[in-house]
Amino acid sequence: MFSKILIANRGEIALRVLRACQELGIKTVAVHSTADSDAMHVRLADESVCIGPPSSRESYLNMAAILSAATITGAEAIHPGYGFLSENAEFARSVEDHGMVFIGPTAKHIRMMGDKIIAKATMKELGVPLVPGSDGKLESLEEAYEVAKTIGYPILIKAVAGGGGRGMKVTHTAEDLAEAWEIARIEARAAFGNDAVYMEKYMDHPRHIELQILGDNYGNVVHFGERDCSLQRRHQKLLEEAGSPIITAEQRQAIGKTATDALSRMGYRNAGTLEFLYQDGQFCFIEMNTRLQVEHPVTEMVCNIDLVHEQIRLAAGEKLGYTQEDITFSGHAIECRINAEDPISFVPCPGKITMYHPPGGLGVRIDSALYTGYQVPPFYDSMVAKLIVHAPTRAQAIARMHRALNEFVVEGIQTFIPLHQHILEDPDFQKGDYSIHWLEQFTARTHAS
Ligand code: ADP
């Protein structure tokens, strides 16, 4: 086992990893920008190193600074959290080149899954079902017309280098295709420096269902069931559940087997998530994330597992030590992402937290680095807390979340707390009757009334 780990991240996830290290008796090194000197992860770490100015590019994305910090503090491994360098194959390789362990998959698998075309081709080859679409990148507008005709409108043009829900264009008719093709490529070039695009059937009422996977370095792969992340705004997740209200135990078992067989054949190691759109009984793979996800706590609650402990243990070369049959599911968990944003306009509102009082009680978990007096900096992602509840049934989990949100006090900034309260009160949500398009319609309705 490692004796010291550097955590290459900030905010709640840095704290999440730090807590896991402390419980395993591992010393921690925090890194931080000059804007984060007072951050909780810095205060609680055994050592900390300032790696640059506020801009992420010069600090949390600065590989040389992070590798130097790890070297001078004698860290044996680096946990990247999510975002920042977590899916950067070059970083994973450099960590290993410096004689340290990258807590995550191999650089090769990060690279493969980071390229959406290769990821889809690989999964297809391994027997995982895909969204109908082009076989790889579209070479011309003529080809786009051909593929659209075969799969049928509406279609989605997606940037090969896209991410974070950006770089997608829906087209409902052939008349609009030429224009969408042009715009999608111009936008892709501007946003990602790469104008390659591909096409998928646009699904009009899918759920976003994803499977949590863990693999060891010896070809053993298991899954921890699904998360339903269909509540999204601009393709960004806001509220997640485990399990999905609409997936049966048999469906979970079947898609779980397809996924674990595929990843075991790939030799995939550490944590990963396979994302699917699910519509009319069909799972269609869209992408794989080769890291820990923001919403991993809902899985931890229903499976009674610490995924970060597992990541560290597996990266240290330990075997999984259990099989699929040993993994059981209990109750229902919900996570609400609390962003420092106006709950109606979604405009970020960083600022000073004048009062912070998190909820408590049975089955309530808060993953957050906030405290009274903390200044939320304007430079980073606006998610400042995750509120997670666990209860025997979904209805009880909803009631518990409602109660916990009522108790949650965050003053000085605006947050999503009121928005989540509205969602939980909605009859469609309570019935579990929603698709990935539901939240946008819901916010438009609430906004209008
Ligand atoms: P990113 O890498 O930007 O997150 P994804 O391919 O994972 O892109 O898609 C993000 C979200 O976009 C999905 O969760 C879903 O809401 C929506 N989406 C993606 N593909 C489709 C599709 N074929 N039809 C409808 N919605 C889609």
Residue 165 has pLDDT above 80, yes or no: no
Determine the pLDDT at residue 400.
Answer: 98
pTM: 0.96
Domain membership flag for residue 127: no
Same structural domain for residues 18 and 144?
no
Same structural domain for residues 306 and 220?
yes
Domain membership flag for residue 251: yes
Determine the pLDDT at residue 235.
Answer: 86
Take atom 21 of ligand 1 and give the residue whose Cα is closest. 202
Same structural domain for residues 227 and 376?
yes
Share of the chain above pLDDT 70, in %: 100
pLDDT tens track for 179-236: 999 999 999 999 989 999 999 999 999 999 999 999 999 999 999 999 999 999 988 9
Annotation marks residue 291 as catalytic = yes
Same structural domain for residues 232 and 267?
yes
Determine the pLDDT at residue 77.
Answer: 98
> Could you give the CA distance from residue 382 to residue 131 in angstroms, rounded to a whole number?
31
Atom of ligand 1 nearest to the CA of 131: 23
Distance 169 CA to ligand 1 centre (A): 11
pLDDT tens track for 113-153: 998 999 999 999 999 999 999 999 999 999 999 999 999 99
Domain membership flag for residue 64: yes
Determine the pLDDT at residue 31.
Answer: 98
Determine the pLDDT at residue 161.
Answer: 84
Take atom 22 of ligand 1 and give the residue whose Cα is closest. 202
Same structural domain for residues 295 and 378?
yes
Atom of ligand 1 nearest to the CA of 167: 3
Question: What's the CATH code of the domain at 304?
Answer: 3.30.470.20
> Could you give the CA distance from residue 7 to residue 30 in angstroms, rounded to a whole number?
6
Which residues does ligand 1 sit against, CB inside 6 Å? 131, 156, 162-166, 200-203, 206, 208, 232, 235, 275, 277, 286-287, 436
Number of H helices, E strands in the chain: 15, 20
Take atom 15 of ligand 1 and give the residue whose Cα is closest. 235
Determine the pLDDT at residue 449.
Answer: 65
Residue of 170, 228, 235 to mutate, ligand 1, most atoms within 8 A of C-beta: 235
> Could you give the CA distance from residue 276 to residue 287 in angstroms, rounded to a whole number?
7
Q: Considering the chain, what is the average pLDDT of its residues?
A: 96
Residue 163 has pLDDT above 80, yes or no: no
pLDDT tens track for 130-140: 999 999 999 99
Same structural domain for residues 304 and 327?
yes
Same structural domain for residues 173 and 304?
no
Distance 50 CA to ligand 1 centre (A): 36
Same structural domain for residues 270 and 400?
yes
Contact 60, 51 (CB under 8 A): yes
Same structural domain for residues 281 and 338?
yes
Domain boundary among 103, 120, 153: 103
Residue with tokens 């949590």: 212
> Could you give the CA distance from residue 118 to residue 429 in angstroms, rounded to a whole number?
36
Distance 162 CA to ligand 1 centre (A): 10
> Could you give the CA distance from residue 28 to residue 170 in angstroms, rounded to a whole number?
46
DSSP 20-46: HHHHTT-EEEEEEEGGGTT-HHHHHSS
Distance 254 CA to ligand 1 centre (A): 23
Who's near 36: CB < 8 A, 6+ residues apart?
Answer: 10, 42, 377
Take atom 18 of ligand 1 and give the residue whose Cα is closest. 235
Domain boundary among 201, 217, 246: 201
Provide the residue range defining the domain that includes 181.
132-201
Residue 24 burial (CB count, 10 A): 16
Determine the pLDDT at residue 166.
Answer: 78
DSSP 122-167: HHHHTT--B-SB-SSS---HHHHHHHHHHH-SSEEEEEEEEETTEE
Distance 165 CA to ligand 1 centre (A): 6
Same structural domain for residues 162 and 234?
no
Q: For residue 421, give the H/E element and its range.
A: helix 417-425
Token digits for 70? 């790890």
Determine the pLDDT at residue 105.
Answer: 98
Atom of ligand 1 nearest to the CA of 201: 23
Catalytic site residue from 207, 252, 291, 365: 291
Give the chain's domain count. Answer: 3
pLDDT tens track for 33-50: 999 999 999 999 999 999
> Could you give the CA distance from residue 154 to residue 189 in angstroms, rounded to a whole number?
23
pLDDT tens track for 359-377: 999 999 999 999 999 999 9
Domain membership flag for residue 126: no
> Could you give the CA distance from residue 290 to residue 113 in angstroms, rounded to a whole number?
7
Domain membership flag for residue 109: no
Question: What's the CATH code of the domain at 29?
Answer: 3.40.50.20
Determine the pLDDT at residue 445.
Answer: 84
> Could you give the CA distance from residue 125 to residue 144 in angstroms, rounded to a whole number?
23
Residue 446 has pLDDT above 90, yes or no: no
Q: What angle do CA 232, 235, 240 make, to 5 degrees?
A: 35
Determine the pLDDT at residue 102.
Answer: 98
Contact 379, 39 (CB under 8 A): no
Comparing CA positions, the residue from 412, 422, 417 lying closest to residue 383 is 417
Same structural domain for residues 197 and 226?
no
Domain membership flag for residue 248: yes
